[in-house]
A = this chain, B = another copy of it.
Amino acid sequence: MRYQEMSQRELQREYRKLSAAYREMEQQGLHLDLSRGKPSPEQLELSRKMLDEVNSGSVLDSVDGTDCRNYGGLDGIPEAKALLAGMVGCRPEQVIVGGNSSLTLMFDILSHAMIDGLLGGTPWCQVPDRKFLCPVPGYDRHFAMTEHFGFELVPVPMLPDGPDMNLVERLVREDASIKGIWCVPKYQNPTGVVFSHEVVKRFANLKPAAKDFRIFWDNAYCVHDLYPEDAEPLPDILSLCEQAGSPDLVYEFCSTSKAAFPGAGISGVAASAANLIELRRVWKFATIGPDKLNQLRQARFFRNTAGLKAHMARHADLLRPKFERVEAILKEDLARSGAGSWTEPKGGYFISFNTLPGCAARTVELCKKAGVKFTPAGATWPCGRDPEDRNIRLAPSYASLEEIEPAVRLFTICVRLAALESLASMQVGSADMEGERIA
């Protein structure tokens, strides 16, 4: 029976039953972490052989004859540009290869926009009421970065096919202080939503009041399908922007972090010729080029887009059972209670879970007390404040299947306990239940 339909007595009985289950789990001394989207040790093993691709016996020149050990090559070596272009479906000449982190590329572009402005525009640090659109729930590190740079963060609801485009179109048309929007277009963090073709097209056809408005298109999970055979490629945003007459509207990001090694992959930014020329003009002051030996290592290991996809299928084989197990437990434990709802993504690294309103923080707190760490409630919202206190991001990748079982069982217990506390206090005041409430 759904909790919302239970009598006060039934709620209390349910709470007592679940409290006992909670105490029992607490006794187990769990020490588990489902908080961050880290690949598991088994996934890292998939790329171990990459470390042999560049050894003391290797040819250390790239295909264009560059000695990858020495200085130079701001753009990246041709085979690395081709690899990343193949990942996102653009042309190699549209890509600049970065270091081991696409996040750093985003940060560097924002720094540049703050200090210099984009393509002749006013430096953003001189726009005191600067704003950035943040689809919610979304990625905490995106939001934190623009918060750090002094942007007001404007939440935009995620719908099942992408951000609410009616709202996005209206906001950017009306307000020139809105300078950008964060997007994870495929398997969005944390909802797992894949932007529909229609939504991608509407992004490319945005007509922002700010000439220097930019879409930060973080295609972090472009090849991270859980069901590769059913996966559909996303339309190429760069081509669509060109066709719409706004080639400079977007910076697209990708990396091999979750294909190879999270700490030692290569990243890339794809953009229009004008945007890339500007980035080169600035970055030539900052570096004599990223690590080309690592580019060589990655390019030789994956070989080409087909090789990369075959490799990602092996990642999927490790990840899929974990996602399916989490979803099965959620369904088994929660479907009848109505205490929560969740997404069932076909790729990426996260499941987005909604508790009843006002129950997310309490749920995470209860889990933590019993030894299982989840992403802090609110993390998926700008400045860490979820106005409804509902959303929790589940990250099943790092834990083993054996660890997922107790962790998610505990989670569903806590979701229900928090729901019951909330419903009971709504119905009868907190007095009755308070005596039994878990501290």
Residues of A within 8 A of B (CB): 36, 38-39, 41, 44, 47-52, 54-56, 58, 67-73, 99-101, 103-104, 107-108, 111, 114-115, 123, 125, 141, 144-145, 148-149, 257, 261-264, 282, 285-294
Contact = CB atoms under 8 A, between A and B. Distances in A.
A293 B68 CA distance: 17
A58 B51 contact: yes
Given A99-B100, A99-B291, A115-B149, 10 more contacts: A49-B56, A52-B55, A72-B263, A99-B290, A103-B287, A107-B285, A107-B287, A141-B285, A148-B282, A291-B291
A61 to B, nearest CB: 11
A148 B285 contact: yes
Given A44-B69, A264-B294, A104 B287 contact: yes
Nearest to A58: B51
A288 B262 contact: yes
B36 A71 contact: yes
Nearest to A266: B291
Contacts of A115: 111, 114-115, 125, 149
Contacts of A292: 263-264
Contacts of A294: 264, 291, 294
In the complex, the 3 A-B pairs of residues with the closest C-beta atoms, listed nearest first: A107-B286, A69-B261, A264-B293
30 contacts: A38-B71, A49-B56, A50-B56, A51-B56, A51-B58, A51-B293, A52-B55, A69-B261, A69-B262, A69-B263, A69-B264, A99-B99, A99-B100, A99-B291, A100-B290, A101-B286, A101-B288, A104-B287, A107-B285, A108-B286, A115-B149, A125-B125, A141-B285, A144-B285, A148-B282, A148-B285, A263-B288, A263-B290, A264-B291, A264-B294
A346 B357 CA distance: 71
Given A107-B286, A288-B263, A291-B264, A70 B44 contact: yes
Contacts of A111: 111, 115
Contacts of A49: 56
Nearest to A70: B262
A59 B54 CA distance: 17
Contacts of A68: 263-264
A103 to B, nearest CB: 6
A70 B288 contact: no
A291 B100 contact: yes
Contacts of A67: 41, 44
B291 A263 contact: yes
Contacts of A58: 51
A282 B101 CA distance: 16
B52 A48 contact: no
Contacts of A289: 263
A50 B60 CA distance: 13
Contacts of A36: 71
A44 to B, nearest CB: 5
Nearest to A296: B264
A108 B72 CA distance: 19
Contacts of A123: 125
Nearest to A144: B285
A55 B51 contact: yes
B71 A263 contact: yes
Contact of A48 (B39, B56, B264, B285): B56
A122 to B, nearest CB: 12
